[in-house]
């Protein structure tokens, strides 16, 4: 499948029919369901650094270097700490996700687009369930998702490991050939594509200074079927082709 870079206005109608057979819609959370301007991931990133500072008595620069080492070698800092130091993962997750959500605003357009998708909707995240619950509720979209599969459900084996996706699919009874995966990291789409899912890489509209440059570009790779900077618009185009009239956004509950 040839990669298509798409926004709300440029998703070709013929290609939108690629999603006609999809009835399970799987979304990553961080920097996918919310834009980077919410400043959530930088806070989590800083909390992880602080955890390492306090755990090992390191200065900030040394803690950041160790954090990058764990991330590169193990996929997440948590996996590195578990494998090398047998830490309690729950303490780490609770600490890392104590963040300020004040910059997260309800997104009724996205909620409307997700609600209108035919079939099941699920969140698959390397973060904690509570973090996903907190953020999705703040966005006003939690009610549209059947379930959240977090790092605990994955036995602390993070994406992009194939076995994590396989466990997710088995647990929720998902046929990958009838599923679409939305992600902000290209490497996390390798396994979904190999398993038969449609893949969509969600990129920021403008450069995010808190993320590596290579994490904000779309590699010319067969495992990335679509790329978009407008998730809600992308979903709306699919719904237009399938003849779906999205419902009006629901009132946000305080």
At 12 the pLDDT is 58
* Domains, the chain, with CATH or none: 4-38+105-241 (3.40.50.1000), 40-96 (1.10.150.450)
Write the pLDDT tens digit of every residue in 132-141. 999 999 999 9
pTM recorded for the entire structure? 0.87
Lowest mean per-residue pLDDT among 72-76, 173-177, 204-208, 248-252? 248-252
Tens of pLDDT along 180-235?
999 999 999 999 999 999 999 999 887 666 677 677 677 889 999 999 999 999 99
Position of tokens 């440059």?
A: 213
Q: What is the pLDDT of residues 114-130, one digit of tens each?
A: 999 999 999 999 999 99
Per-residue b or e along 52-82, where b marks 16 or more CB atoms closer than 10 Å to that residue's CB: bbeeeebeeeebbebbeebbeebbbbbbbbb
Do 247 and 25 form a contact (C-beta atoms < 8 A)? Answer: no
pLDDT at 253 over 50: no
């Amino acid at each position: 499948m040839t990669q298509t870079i798409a926004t709300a206005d440029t998703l070709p109608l013929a290609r939108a029919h690629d999603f006609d057979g999809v009835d399970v819609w799987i979304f990553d959370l961080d920097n996918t369901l919310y834009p980077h301007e919410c400043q959530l991931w930088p806070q989590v990133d800083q909390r992880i650094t602080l955890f390492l500072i306090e755990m090992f008595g390191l200065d900030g620069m040394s803690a950041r270097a160790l954090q990058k080492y764990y991330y590169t070698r193990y996929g997440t800092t948590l996996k590195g700490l578990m494998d090398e130091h047998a830490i309690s993962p729950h303490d780490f997750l609770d600490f890392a996700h104590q963040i300020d959500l004040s910059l997260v605003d309800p997104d009724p357009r996205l909620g409307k687009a997700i609600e209108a998708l035919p079939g099941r909707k699920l969140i698959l995240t390397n973060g904690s369930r509570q973090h996903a619950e907190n953020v999705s509720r703040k966005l006003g979209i939690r009610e549209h998702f059947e379930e959240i599969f977090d790092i605990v459900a994955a036995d602390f084996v993070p994406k992009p490991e194939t076995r994590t996706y396989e466990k997710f699919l088995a647990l929720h009874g998902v046929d990958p050939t009838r599923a679409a995966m939305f992600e902000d990291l290209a490497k996390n789409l390798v396994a979904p594509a190999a398993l038969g899912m449609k893949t969509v890489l969600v990129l920021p509209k403008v450069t995010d200074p808190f993320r590596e440059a290579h994490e904000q570009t779309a590699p010319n790779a067969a495992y990335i079927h679509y790329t978009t900077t407008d998730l809600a618009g992308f979903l709306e185009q699919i719904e237009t082709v399938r003849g779906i009239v999205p419902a009006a956004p629901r009132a946000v509950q305080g």
